[in-house]
């Protein structure tokens, strides 16, 4: 995001910086006036509302003159922060990005739209870094701050839930657990934090502690609120009781076959594939038969394998003639069909659900080779997997 020379900071004590240097705003009333205007950057705030925010019930004898004088003092203190008269009030004529609280909410909105957990973590870490302490910390005695502070507090907790869920999705359960322990202690009735704590302990292979964490939350909900755990929290407990696999890093991908010949040339194509995989979750190689798509994909997969936490999974689709058998064939190729050859072939729905479970918490690359005769079915399956498995890439 481009740098903004003048910054108005509300996520902490009210402050203004100019190219990173602090600027003296003035006394409490000047800071209150600036803060109230900055809550609605670029919008007119009525004079009556500004008077109520700054003076509350202790209005001066000539309120209009007092407000005008306070605006003049603020303009002298902050010549680069335009406070303009408009209609029956004033507006702070700055871009929304000049206010840290607005930039913070924009980052939260971007994170809600993101599907890659790595991007979610990156955006929400940027957002959290904007906080310098309790919001509007030096104006908490003024009534107008109560609503934005309550709203931002809730949004910040929700963002923490989203960020820590994304951290767990990237396989960093240990990194998330310490923060989750603190958040659960501070917010014992907030189920999402407890749910993520139970999940982190399960992923770390600590089922007894996970069940104890669940029980503490269940007891607190019953005692304080008279409520039972939500279905989502009970599902986390059930995952522990079922001993579902913990850390996905212990499950390697399908071994890639070793080519019989060396790979020479086509460096531009390899670089293009690598660049696309760096920025996208789905990359498709197109070309006529015999153009070398499989060999290019194999070389790209070999070069990428070391950097993919849960490995590369290679699926050869040439032998699959019936599109209805596609999910079962992929399931078998990734090693999720145990048993003999007489085992019942799972239905499309069953196989699709099993594939989602297999890759739901993995960071892996799935290579689907020879898709030409199954294009529609492969497209549908890939779309479904990418929608439910945020750490999966498909080539």
What CATH number does domain 101-112+145-241 carry, 1.25.40.10, 3.30.300.30, 3.30.460.80, 3.30.590.10? 1.25.40.10
Half-sphere exposure (CA, 13 Å, Cβ side) for 299?
Answer: 19
Return the H-helix or E-strand segment holding 15. Answer: strand 15-18
Range(s) of the chain covered by CATH 1.25.40.10: 101-112+145-241
Question: Is 0.85 surpassed by the pTM of this model?
Answer: no
Neighbours of 383 (CB within 10 A): 12
Longest dimension (CA), the chain: 92
Task: Pull the structure tokens for residue 362.
Answer: 């993995």
- Three-state SS for 149-204 is HHHHHHHHHHHHHHHHHHHHHCCCHHHHHHHHHHHHHHCCCCHHHHHHHHHHHHHC
Q: How far apart are CA 73 and CA 69, in angstroms?
A: 6
CATH topology for 6-99 is Arc Repressor Mutant, subunit A (1.10.10)
- Per-residue pLDDT 10s for the chain (395 aa) are 334 478 999 999 999 998 889 999 999 999 999 999 999 999 999 999 999 999 999 999 999 999 999 999 999 999 988 999 988 999 999 988 899 999 999 999 999 888 888 899 999 999 999 999 999 999 999 999 999 999 999 999 999 999 999 999 888 888 899 999 999 999 999 999 999 999 999 988 899 999 999 999 999 999 999 999 999 899 999 989 987 554 443 344 555 665 555 566 677 888 888 888 888 899 998 888 777 788 888 888 887 776 777 778 888 887 777 888 888 778 777 765 433 333 445 566 667 777 887 787 778 888 888 888 888 888 988 988 888 888 889 99
CA atoms within 13 A on the CB side of 244: 19
CA distances, 53 to each of 42, 150, 330 (Å) = 18, 17, 63
- Which residues contact residue 280 at a Cβ distance below 8 angstroms, ignoring those fewer than 6 apart? 393
Contacts of 61 (CB under 8 A, 6+ apart): none
Token readout for 395 is 């080539």
Q: Which residues contact 26 (CB under 8 A, 6 or more apart)?
A: 73, 74, 77
End-to-end alpha carbon distance in the chain: 31
Looking at the chain, which residues constitute the CATH 1.10.10.10 domain(s)?
A: 6-99
Give me the pLDDT at residue 255, please.
55
| Confidence (pLDDT) at 265 | 66
Beta-carbon contacts of 128 under 8 Å, excluding residues fewer than 6 positions away, are 156, 159, 160, 163
DSSP 100: H
Structure token digits, residue 32? 């209150």
């Amino acid at each position: 995001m481009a740098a903004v020379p003048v910054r108005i900071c509300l996520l902490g004590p009210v402050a203004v910086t100019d190219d990173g240097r602090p600027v003296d705003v003035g006394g409490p009333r000047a800071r209150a006036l600036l803060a109230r205007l900055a809550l609605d950057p670029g919008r007119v705030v009525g004079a009556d509302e500004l008077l109520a925010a700054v003076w509350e019930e202790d209005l001066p004898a000539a309120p209009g003159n007092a407000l005008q004088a306070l605006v003049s003092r603020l303009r002298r203190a902050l010549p680069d922060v335009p406070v303009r008269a408009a209609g029956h009030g004033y507006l702070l004529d700055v871009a929304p990005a000049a206010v840290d609280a607005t930039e913070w909410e924009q980052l939260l909105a971007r994170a809600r739209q993101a599907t890659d957990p790595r991007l979610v973590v990156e955006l929400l870490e940027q957002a959290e870094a904007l906080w310098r302490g309790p919001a509007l910390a030096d104006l908490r005695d003024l009534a107008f701050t109560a609503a934005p502070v309550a709203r931002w507090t809730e949004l910040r907790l929700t963002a923490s839930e989203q960020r820590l869920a994304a951290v767990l999705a990237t396989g960093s359960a240990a990194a998330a657990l310490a923060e989750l322990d603190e958040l659960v202690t501070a917010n014992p009735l907030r189920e999402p934090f407890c749910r993520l704590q139970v999940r982190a302990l399960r992923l770390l292979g600590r089922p007894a502690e996970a069940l104890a964490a669940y029980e503490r939350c269940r007891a607190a909900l019953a005692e304080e609120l008279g409520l039972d755990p939500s279905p989502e929290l009970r599902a986390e407990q059930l995952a522990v009781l079922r001993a579902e696999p913990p850390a996905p890093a212990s499950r390697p991908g399908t071994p890639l076959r070793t080519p019989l010949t060396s790979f020479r040339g086509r460096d531009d194509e390899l670089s293009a594939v690598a660049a696309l995989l760096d920025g996208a979750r789905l990359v498709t190689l197109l070309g006529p038969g015999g153009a070398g798509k499989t060999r290019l994909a194999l070389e790209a997969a070999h070069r990428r394998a070391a950097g993919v936490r849960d490995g590369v999974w290679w699926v050869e689709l040439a032998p699959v003639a019936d599109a209805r058998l596609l999910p079962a064939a992929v399931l078998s190729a990734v090693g999720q069909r145990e048993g003999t050859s007489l085992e019942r072939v799972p239905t499309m729905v069953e196989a699709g659900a099993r594939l989602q479970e297999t890759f739901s918490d993995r960071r892996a690359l799935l290579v689907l080779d020879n898709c030409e005769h199954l294009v529609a079915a492969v497209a549908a399956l890939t779309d479904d997997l990418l929608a439910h498995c945020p750490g999966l890439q498909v080539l």
